[in-house]
Amino acid sequence: MANKQLMNKISLVGLIVFCLYACTQSDKPVKPHQDSILKEDTSARQNTMIQSTAPFSSDSAYVLIEQQLAFGPRVPNSKAHQACGDFLIKRLKQYTSDVIVQPATVMAYTGEALKIRNIMAQFNKDKTNRIVFFAHWDSRPFADRDPSNSKQPVPGADDGASGVAVLLEIARILSINPPNIGVDIVLFDGEDFGDAGGKAETYCLGSQYWSRNLPVPGYYAKYGILLDMVGAQNARFCKEGWSLRYASSIVDKVWNTAHSLGFGQYFIMKSIDPIIDDHYFVNTLAKIPTIDIINHDPDVNSSGFGKHWHTLDDDIKIIDKNTLYAVGLTLIQTIYLESANM
């Protein structure tokens, strides 16, 4: 696909530096240590036209992944799932008073009734110009691609917890420095309880329910960004097919922002075939133009996903703070660029 030129110059957004203090307890923010990370392209970042208005801490995001994993696999109807959901709700309520919990009972392809909760946090809820970010917080109930442990649940460090952690860290930043737009964060449930060889609709049960039953009457966002598997080392985020079909301009906006920050090794300027993920149902049912930032490149292996995908290897050891930082800072830049253009 032909790549659009990088964004035109815009007015410089002033850099605001915050000193952020917190504890590493499970219900409190984590103190960031930016100097402990990152093989960054510093020169590229310094030359960027849009500066981050608050620091994204990949240390904090990493600990948030560990905290989710500590509950055990977040499989619907399990005690670990219930406890982790309570933790996520409590954490988001630290950053905004506008948190909506959407409980539902949905039917899995196995015939099992699943009790799920979608969690939505709103920032500047009275603003009509809004963007929305998505991730799923559940984990797969069986490691169907694991050669020797196919019936055990997947830990879901990358596939689930990484996207949630990035969005929780963004929520912290939004609470400190509110942008001039409305921003929503939605954590979908029931994404990964699907039939590997069956219909696409067996997956993404929470996003299907949310898109058909929007918890805010008349809700609409200018665009949405879904995060799925955004924490693994050497992740490759290609331009996914449904994203290009429904929101190609947003794909270009985000990928160009990432490249301007020096993250071109992660955000690959290559189009790939469509992937059924939560964004597909947000696009087709809720009619919100939404893209998917997902670690998938069919040139890497037969599945296109990392070797840890749907195996017991999807644990904390495959998480890389550099990847978390690349995704997190790209989204922060996107938010405040949107705010600056208001």
DSSP-derived secondary structure for 318-331? GB-HHHHHHHHHHH
Residue 255, burial from CB neighbour count under 10 angstroms (0-12, 13-18, 19+): buried
CATH of the domain at 211: 3.40.630.10
CA distance 326 to 321: 9
272 is a domain residue? yes
Name residues whose C-beta falls within 8 Å of residue 97's C-beta, 6 or more positions apart in sequence.
none
CA distance 193 to 202: 7
Token pair, residue 143, equals 């490691």
pLDDT on residue 19:
31
4 is a domain residue? no
Amino acid at 213: N
CA distance 230 to 236: 9
Name residues whose C-beta falls within 8 Å of residue 42's C-beta, 6 or more positions apart in sequence.
262
pLDDT on residue 53:
55
Number of other residues whose CB lies within 10 A of the CB of residue 47: 11
CA distance 67 to 75: 16
| In contact, 242 and 274? CB cutoff 8 Å | yes
**Whose structure tokens read 């949630």?**
164
CA distance 83 to 87: 6
| In contact, 257 and 263? CB cutoff 8 Å | no
| In contact, 251 and 245? CB cutoff 8 Å | no
19 is a domain residue? no
The torsion angle over the Cα atoms of residues 161, 206, 94 and 320, rounded to 10 degrees, is 10
26 is a domain residue? no
* Number of domains forming the structure of the chain: 1
3 is a domain residue? no
> How many helices (H) and strands (E) would you count in the chain?
8, 8
CA distance 136 to 134: 7
Handedness of CA 166, 293, 150, 299 (dihedral sign): negative
pLDDT on residue 342:
73
Q: What is the pLDDT along the chain (342 residues), one digit of tens a residue?
A: 433 333 332 333 333 333 333 333 334 334 333 433 344 444 444 444 454 456 899 999 999 999 999 999 999 999 999 999 999 999 999 999 999 999 999 999 999 999 999 999 999 999 999 999 999 999 999 999 999 999 999 999 999 999 999 999 999 999 999 999 999 999 999 999 999 988 999 999 999 999 999 999 999 999 999 999 999 999 999 999 999 999 999 999 999 999 999 999 999 999 999 999 999 999 999 999 999 999 999 999 989 999 999 999 999 999 999 999 999 999 999 999 999 887
β-sheet bridge partners, residue 122: 184
pLDDT on residue 284:
98
333 is a domain residue? yes
CA distance 294 to 312: 19
DSSP-derived secondary structure for 226-239? EEES--BTT--EEE
Q: CA–CA distance from 194 to each of 150, 178, 201, 210 (Å)?
A: 14, 37, 8, 17
218 Rama sector, left if φ>0, alpha if ψ -120 to 50, beta otherwise? left
Residue 58 dihedral angles phi and psi, to the nearest 5°: -75, -25
b/e map 188-209, b = 16+ CB within 10 Å:
bbbbbbbeeeeeeebbbbbbbb
227 is a domain residue? yes
Residue 261: which domain range?
58-340
50 is a domain residue? no
